[in-house]
Structure 1
Amino acid sequence: MEEIYAKFVSQKISKTRWRPVPSGSLQPAETFATGSWDNEENRVLLWSTGDLGNLDSDGGFEGDHQLLCGIRHHGDVMDLQFFDQERIVAASSTGCVTVFLHHPNNQTLSVSQQWTTAHFHTGPGSPSCSTAPCTGVVCNSPEIVTVGEDGRINLFRVDHKEAVRTIGLVTECHSTVWIDIPTSSTL
């Protein structure tokens, strides 16, 4: 039976995603990202699994999950996807979509791009522009597609300041998930 490893991180984790391995790589993924929710300060964190197969002299695992870096995230992390090897896209309960850039030379994350009002409510009964949670994100370079509780689907390009296309009020019920599984990840 496969071993299970756990680590207390003192955060309520809402999403975890493995960093994709380069195409043609035979090595398994060793880095993953987490996003938190319902904390005073939510964060997007990048972790390394290291070598979990060996015990150190104290009986602990050599290479126990190691925190590489992290950055503050406004609102709850509703979804999280890797855009490529260096960039992570996070969907927020505030309606914001943020692209974080990983700097491996000094193990930091920075904001590379941000759409602060990607999802919002308008019309009778709501303030002139109240935020609506962004509930899902899917990436296919160079594009990012988001869905939110405002009933909109947005198409962004990472190098554009505004949405390239918006399909408004797709349905009367909220879009909550959008999953894209690359054919290379299925057996």
Structure 2
Amino acid sequence: MAAPSHGVIATFDTASDIYEAAKKVRDAGFKFWDCITPCPVHGLDGAMGVRRSKVPRFSLIGGILGFTTGMSLIFFTGAVDYQLIVGGKPLFSPMFAFPVSYELTILLTAFFTIGGMFILNGLPMHYHPVLKAPHIHQGLDDKFLIVIESRDPKYDAAATKSLLESIGGKDITEIEA
């Protein structure tokens, strides 16, 4: 009995080849696929149809929470919990609360950004089936790879292989799950 398939992987030689191939895979309607490149390829996200990340939303929430926590902490300690008038200064002033609020804004923004990235990327992922591909190491050195996953609604092993072949893919192999 054959092992279940994770998808199909194909190799491309140049950055321009994978850029054009990514546009064709996107136009074919695939949703669950990715490009593996040894270096950044300018414009590849656009060619793949990747939308803007949601991580900045996590960062904004962390920043707002940090700022309000800092202001609330100083307000509570100065105006509610321990009312002490020193040198005629008010019990609460945003000017004096700013350093604490600023630091908490930076701290919680960083924590929420990292947490959001982990959540959205499904990390930690200690293993991925693509690592079983026989030529995956080339995608980290000098080749460019496209992986189309079998969970994609448009996935059909034979049709997907022929699509990758028609757009210039080489060493097309099926990956075990």
Q: Structure 1 length normalisation: TM-score?
A: 0.25
Greater relative contact order (Cα < 8 A, sep 6+) = 2
Question: Which protein shows a greater Rg?
Answer: 2
Question: Could you say which structure has the higher helix fraction?
Answer: 2
